[in-house]
Amino acid sequence: MNRTEFLNILKEHNVVFYKNGSRHDIYIHTISGKKVAIPRHREMKNKFLKMILDEIQQTNDHRTKSRS
């Protein structure tokens, strides 16, 4: 998928732009505060998107369990 589609999916999951890195852009999950580095490639693999979303989900699960 192209970068725009990739970033739109991240935005739907509350992941927004944070700052520019040297080779990657840094995005932050607004709920958990988890930061992820996104390379500036034109095409992104679906596997990479799944990996990021899984990582964010694990962070959310951990925070939810610690509040209980």
* SS3 track for 4-59: HHHHHHHHHCCEEEEEECCCEEEEEECCCCCEEEEECCCECCHHHHHHHHHHHHHH
pLDDT digits (tens, 9 = 90+) for 12-63: 999 999 999 999 999 999 988 999 999 999 998 999 999 988 988 876 666 5
The full set of domains in the chain, from first to last, is 3-62 (3.30.920)
Q: Is the pLDDT higher at 40 or at 65?
A: 40
Q: Which two tokens stand for residue 30?
A: 């607004």
Q: Who's near 8: CB < 8 A, 6+ residues apart?
A: none
Contact 30, 16 (CB under 8 A): yes
